[in-house]
Every structure is written in structure tokens, then in C-alpha cells.
Amino acid sequence: MILSPEQLELAGARVLMRVDFNVPLDKETLLPTDLTRIRAALPTMEYVLNAGASLVLCSHLGRPQGAAEDRFSLRHVVSSLESVLNRKVRFVSDCISKEALEASADLQPGSVLLLENVRFHAGEESGDPEFAAQLAKHGNCYINDAFGTAHREHASTATIARFYPQQKAAGFLMKAELDQATKVLNNPSRPFTAIMGGAKVSDKLLLIENMLSKVDRLLIVGGMAYTFCKAMGGEIGASLCEDDRVETAKALLTKAAEMGVELVLPVDSVAADAFSNEAPRQVVDNHRIPPGWMGLDLGPESIRVMRDRVANSQTLLWNGPAGVFEFSNFQEGTRAMAQAVADATRLGAFSLIGGGDSAAAVHAFGLEDQVSYVSTGGGALLELLEGQVLPGVKALEVEL
């Protein structure tokens, strides 16, 4: 079983907590531009501190390749963390140095220490037991609240749990993420509609295959839709297409039909003659896209078709944008999908937004409070929905 923080003896304890503070930083000031992940960890941090424990936080930031780089230093998030926690946070410029270990040993109940980026050590990503053992010296309890990295078998997310046979738990964010995904996978209200977007079929292949046995309908949007269009014999111009996945797409279309799953593809697109926000645009039939033109967004008829299917749903899973939504001229499809999901939620549907670009989209359009749950983990949620075991979750299991 996996414990929760309430099941740990926290009074007077020193808790090492893995958080996901991999936040975007401003290129000039190097200050965080989005505090969503920091705020997401707040309930667990506050609970630990209010229970009379001291708190040692560890996280990664970016991909520094096992060596220290200032642009990836967690010192840049200290002031933001202090504002969210509303208390002073001490920072040490390494995570396993003598200074760091002395700093954590000196902590008093209610005090907070932030360790430097764990990925400044090559042992983090390799899952090195010696590095994990050093990290484990920072606490007599371990809590993992970093769902966004739960699919990584790294030292601070998986290996370290071995050093806490009983005194380890999933944080409140981790538990919420697992509960929401389980609700969608195992007990959905019907009709259950999954919206799969993004660029490549290959990125979502396992997810699509696993979800076909669970959903009533599957809406395919984004760049990956053109591989399906080509599989159906359509002329897709210069649209994104994985030619080596065309046969796979044909097989998925056949499988969906055999299983009685309604697989819905876009019927038209807003196309451009170049991958640019300023490129000339026209609405085209998805099976007759002119040579040299590429579909970059859902067309108006596709939006209507998709919106109708979303409206008639009781459970919704959305993973991946419907177009190149970072271009203002090609974001209408993604905006329409986000709004349709929000509208259905208001009418009683349960909606799970699958991290990554989907989460970015609902935040960009100001709809995050109008859906049921926005996941903080793109890759982790993806693997969970694919039916895979997450190493960071498996490592938290205890035998009582």
C-alpha cells in the first residue's frame, strides 16, 4: 500500500520532500514566469510544517546534463517559493555537500531548506544508489509529491525510497493525480470521450491503443490527424505526416470500428503555405489539401463536429492541442476544444486535462478553473494512461 502524509509520524521529524519545481524562467531575469507547480505542492508543504516537522525540498530544474549551470540553479525560485509559502526559505548551493547536510541537520521544526538542483549530479538521472543514499541523509521521512517526474526512475524519485522502508508517503498532489487518472481509467461515467492531439501518432500510439478499450469515442486532432487522413486515402499536401505510421493508423481505424468505438477525425483545416503565423491561410477539405499547403488548425466544420461530440459526454480526457496554438492565427481549434470541455464540465461532465500543452492551453485561455482537473504531469500522466507502472509510484509502496 501507499501511505499518505497523515500516516507518518511528523512531529519533530525532518522530512525530505521531492517536489517538481521545474518551472519556466524568464530568459533575462531568470525568475519564474509560472508558479503553478510550486503552488501545487503547497498543501503538502503546509501540512508537513504545521504537523511540527522541518522540511527539506529537493527538485530538478531543466536539463543540465549532470553538471552545475547557473541558469538551471534552483536559487532562482527561492523568492517565489518564499512568497507562496509565506515563510523564509534557506538555500544551499549543492544537494549532498557537507554544507547541505549540516544545514538540514540544523533545521528546527517549521523551517524550510531548498537543496540545489539534483540534476547537477549525474547520479540523479542514472538512479545511482550512492547518490540516493547521500540525499537520504537529509531526512528521516520521505514524501514524493512530484507527479510530473514519477515516470522517471531517478535517484530522488525512485531509488531513494529504498532508504525509507516504512517512513515514506505520496504527497497530496501525487495522490490527487493518481486518483483522477484512476477515476477516468476504471470508473468513467458514460459516454466517455477522449481527445487526442499533438504532432505525432508515434507519441500517442500506446495511449490510443490502451484507450480504445475504455472509451466510447475518440477524437483525433492536431498534426497527428493528417497521418490518419492519408491512411484513408486523402491528399494532405505538405501537412505533417508520419509515413511509417500510415499502416498503423489504418489498423487503428479498423480496430476502433471492430470495437464499436467512434473514431472522429477532422473534416477540414485552416491551412497555410508555410509554417508561420503570418503565412496566407485558407480553409480546405482535409482530404483535398493543395500541394505545398499544410493544415495547422481545425477548420470550422471540424470544430462543430468535435464540439457536438464533446457536449454529449459525461467523462472527458484531453491530451494534446488541436493545432499550432502557439501561433495566434492557428489557435482557434484548440481554444474551441478547451471551451467545449469547459462547457461540458459546467453541465456535469468530469474532465481531466492531460498536462503538457493541453494544460498550457487551458491556462492560456483562462479556463483552468472551469474544468474538473488539470494534471501537472504530461509524460507521467501519459504513461499512466498507457497502462504503465510509474517507478516513482511503485517505489512508495510499503508492506505493513
Kindly list the catalytic residues: 37, 200, 356, 379
> Cβ distance 323 to 330 under 8 Å?
yes
The span from the CA of 32 to the CA of 74, in Å, is 10
Backbone conformation region of residue 366, classed left if phi is above 0, alpha if psi is from -120 to 50, else beta = left
Integer Cα distance of 98 and 83 in angstroms: 28
Give the DSSP H or E segment for 272. strand 268-272
Residue 247 sits at φ, ψ, to 5 deg, of: -65, -35
State how far the Cα of 263 lies from the Cα of 257, in Å rounded to an integer: 8
Calpha distance 118→124 (Å, rounded): 6
What whole-number distance in Å separates Cα of residue 166 and Cα of residue 227? 49
CA 385 to chain CA centroid, Å, is 12
226 touches 197 (CB < 8 A): no
CA distance 184 to 186: 6
Amino acid at 220: I
